[in-house]
Amino acid sequence: MARFLTLNTFLLEVRLFGRVPVYPVAPSIEPRLHALPAALAATGADVIALQEVFRRPHRLFLANELKVDYPFVAGLRHSGLPLGTGLMVLSRHPIGNADPHEFRAALVEERIAIRMGMLDCRIDLPDLGEVRFVDFHLVAGGLGGHPEGRRGETCRARQIDELIALARAPGPPTTIMAGDLNAGREASPANYHQLLNAGFRDCVTEAAEGRGAAMTWDPENPLITGELNRSLPPQRMDQVFLREAGSEHLSVDAAKVVLSERTIDVGEAAPVPVSDHYGVAVDIVIREAAAEATV
């Protein structure tokens, strides 16, 4: 069995030339950052996909604090300008190689300071063997745009085409993709079904306990800022997908929403969770192992 976790960390502090903020700075970054290592390790994940870790000091802090449990890290450096994709993968098991990809499709205003993209890793897992693991973050609605608006959905569809092409490129037959799709069954379903129609399996839906409500975007989360963001419906925009080329030999044993607890002390205000997103943890097993467990 291998457990995979995805979390959009909302460590959003993007400044041009280190001074001019491009986006409103996320609230309570320091206490949330310092609580993240223990919170992530407590999930028991074998592989962790993080999004929105844009600043190099934040990436170094997480890698250093988690180096005992997660000695293998991808995404400490980036090839893009000026701040890259904000993607980071931590693993208990060796990462053979890691290739960052910036999406060719992008909204103009999001090219100013950041890039949306994919972090393509090869990870050798004791139970599952070598897999292609892709951490991703797709566009929302742009500056002031609605995530379900035509502009965002059209750009997202083109980015999904790039995700699908990457998964079909030469490499291990098993691809696991985890990240912030900014779409799902509840919102922008056309984008979500684009991946299903390409042969990807939604791990959360496939898991028995995932067939009910499993929301990672909660309008009641106190970290969500801005009227537009608070007006979005409860939804699961954070996804874990599985694709096997050839015969399918893997099963999703369990899936759940994690890191939703409001335990971070931010001073006079009430405690908050680690992010404005909740995390998703998925357990994937070989079918034979899943069958033996039910006997």
Expressed as residue numbers, the domain containing 46 is: 2-294
CA count, 13 A, side-chain hemisphere, 175: 25
Indicate the range of 91-95, 189-193, 285-289 predicted with least confidence: 285-289
Indicate the range of 16-30, 151-165, 246-260 predicted with least confidence: 16-30
Say whether pLDDT at 138 is over 70.
yes
The per-residue pLDDT for 295 is 41
- Residue 31 Ramachandran class (φ > 0 left, ψ -120 to 50 alpha, else beta): alpha
> 42 vs 245, which has greater pLDDT?
42
Indicate the range of 87-91, 149-153, 172-176 predicted with least confidence: 149-153
Instruction: Quickly tell me which residue has 């959360």 as its tokens.
Output: 204
Counted domains in the chain: 1
Q: How far apart are CA 64 and CA 62, in angstroms?
A: 5
Say whether pLDDT at 188 is over 70.
yes
For residue 26, what is the DSSP state? P
Asked if residue 147 lies in contact with residue 160, where contact means CB atoms within 8 angstroms, the answer is: no
- The pTM for the full model equals 0.93
The per-residue pLDDT for 34 is 98
Query: Across residues 84-110, what is the average pLDDT?
Result: 92
Give the H/E segment covering residue 229.
helix 227-231
For the domain that residue 236 is a member of, what is the CATH number?
Answer: 3.60.10.10
Q: How far apart are CA 152 and CA 167, in angstroms?
A: 22
For residue 2, what is the DSSP state? E
Query: Across residues 193-214, what is the average pLDDT?
Result: 85
> 112 vs 272, which has greater pLDDT?
272
> What is the crossing angle of helices 56-65 and 29-42, to 10°?
40
Asked if residue 106 lies in contact with residue 116, where contact means CB atoms within 8 angstroms, the answer is: yes
Neighbour tally for 42: CB within 10 Å = 10
User: At 41, is the secondary structure helix, strand, or coil?
Assistant: helix
Query: Per-residue pLDDT tens for 48-83?
Result: 999 999 988 999 999 999 999 999 999 988 655 567
> 269 vs 151, which has greater pLDDT?
151
Asked if residue 70 lies in contact with residue 48, where contact means CB atoms within 8 angstroms, the answer is: yes
